[in-house]
Amino acid sequence: MNNSGNSADGKKAEGSSSGLSPRACIALAVFSSCFGATFVFGYCISVLNSPRQKIECFFLRTWLSSFTLKNSSIDRGAFLDNCIKEEQLSDRLSSRDDNRLRWMYTMTQVVWVVFAAVGGFMTSLISERFGRRTGLVMANVFSVLAAISIAPTLAANLPIFVYITRALSGLHNGLTIPMTSMYVTEIVPIRLRGAIGSSGQLSITIGIFVGGLVGLEQALNREKYWVVAIALSGLPSLVSSIALPLLPESPRFLYLNKGDEAAAKQAVQRFCAPAEVDEAMLALRSEKVKMEQQEAAEKFSIGTLFTSKRYRMALLITLVLVVVQQLSGINVVMQYSSIMLENTGVQKSTVPLVTLGVYALNVLSTIVALPILEKFGRRLLLLLSLAIVLVSLVALLIVSQFTPKSFSTATATQKALSGVACALVFIYVVGFAIGLGCITVMYISEIFQQKARGAANSVAMGVLQTSNALVVLTYYTLEKSLGHFVYLIYIVPVTAGLVFLFFFMPETKNRSTDDIADELSAKLGGPRTGAGDQQKEVAAADAMKTAKSSTAEQEAD
């Protein structure tokens, strides 16, 4: 064991936050990491939703030669001078060109999600080599570059800059979401892990709401200002990059990955109350012993997640969680709500406000879920969440068969059913927020031990964003071909996930990572770590060392 450690890591661990109390240090660390990562992720989800027609109109003007307008009498110059309103686009274009235009917009979402998946698969490489906090600072560079790259879009009349910006934003989001979860989970005491560990999801919902707010016509949803809305995503990452270096690195990373006990203890002292420091260091020493024993028996690599019985059940639960979370259709609601609500007969003029209401409810539901998370546990809330989502999707499938295509031609009964459909969307959002939304990423960090946590989060984020890409890429086509029966596509995985998790998902509330890992390993006949016995042995060894030291001092006197 390296007690001297790296002096650089030691200095970084303490940082410039030594004057802060442990609670203040945790609060600043959580805010800085979430504001520059998960908040930005949420913002990027919704910021293109309301300005969709502005963006499509921009694509149409810049690539006008690729389209055939129905009415040949339209003056090209008048069109380029914004004389044709966005809401008239569908009437002025042929069906083929309208589809092409919609795909151009859809690809802004697809590019973002694909690069987020790439970033997710790269998380382990960066977080294990450079650390959680330093990795977040490095990843924030992509967000700042994204904000810069959108600047020449309108001046150059080149839509390619929109795609470049979304690609860089996606890379940043994919890298930072799992690293934020790891950093926050590793710096807080077990008793606070549930509520604080879910703060990342809360900041995502706040980011979604702010993105929707910025997208209102009264704000930046204007002809020449929607690019400003996109560029604003770089500001939180810039603030985060300034604040994070002032905070300690994860003590678990410093001790278990770097072997620097002195730096780890300094970090623990910054994040824990004085009475909790010895207990936290004891837990780290116990896990270090266990890791060394495991490494002697089996060298870990990302492939070990798939081949070792020790991790197989935890990985299976992880994959089910992230796939079901995305295939439940949540990003259809968050990214395509303007299309989805219009298709259920909601009046077009009210769609932005209804969308903003959905975002606001998402925030409020997450806030309500955080305190009850520690009271009722992860398992119960996740199962309840899946049940509410399933029931609301089935109800939407039924009600949407009778909603009008257009609000202006709807009967009173159809308008009432449109209101019911809107209410079901709100119920769906509440159901998602209290479990699938706020627990999934934190739960993954809880069920994997330190050695496997980075790789597991990397695989989880990659699969999550790949599933997200599948939903985003197929929604428009499925909606066109299946109509309201598209909800069946989301009902099936939610049902399967509910059944699987009911039988195999353990509770993690107030349990150590080693204890959880032992239970999951035993489900498929894998080895137990005996972490509890090891911790007692480490505690006994520490007590013996203290007694010997005390005896030596008495003899010297």
Distance CA 515, CA 533 (A): 11
Q: pTM to 2 decimals?
A: 0.78
pLDDT of residue 500: 95
C-alpha torsion 508→360→324→329, nearest 10:
180
CA 314/CA 337 separation, integer angstroms: 34
Determine the average pLDDT of the residues in 527-541.
Answer: 49
Based on DSSP, count helices (H) and strands (E) in the chain, helices before strands: 29, 0
- 306 — pLDDT class (breaks 50, 70, 90): confident
CA max distance for the chain: 106
Report the percentage of the chain scoring pLDDT > 90: 32
pLDDT in tens, 74-97: 444 444 444 445 545 555 555 566
Domains recognised in the chain with CATH numbers:
20-68+93-247 (1.20.1250.20), 298-530 (1.20.1250.20)
Give the pLDDT score at 8.
46
The CA-based angle 407-390-511, given to 5 degrees, is: 135
**Cα angle: 293, vertex 296, 302; to 5 degrees:** 100
Report the chain's mean pLDDT, rounded to a whole number. 81
Cα 282 to chain centroid distance, Å, stands at 32
pLDDT by residue (tens digit) across 477-512?
Answer: 888 888 888 889 999 999 999 999 999 999 888 787
pLDDT of 202 higher than 60 = yes
E strand or H helix at 20? none
Q: Indicate if the pLDDT at residue 54 is higher than 60.
A: yes
What is the per-residue pLDDT for 491?
95
Per residue in 5-30, pLDDT (tens digit) is 444 444 444 444 456 888 889 999 99
Tell me the backbone φ, ψ of residue 534, rounded to 5 degrees: -65, -40
- Among 100-109, 423-432, 467-476, the range with the most confident prediction by mean pLDDT is 423-432
Distance, CA of 110 to CA of 188 (rounded, Å): 35
Higher local confidence (pLDDT), 297 or 392: 392
Can you read off the two tokens belonging to residue 193?
A: 């892990």
Tokens 């905070």 locate to 247
Question: pLDDT per residue over 400-415, tens digit each?
Answer: 888 777 666 778 887 8
How far does Cα 539 stand from its chain's mean position?
Answer: 37
pLDDT top residue among 257 and 165: 165
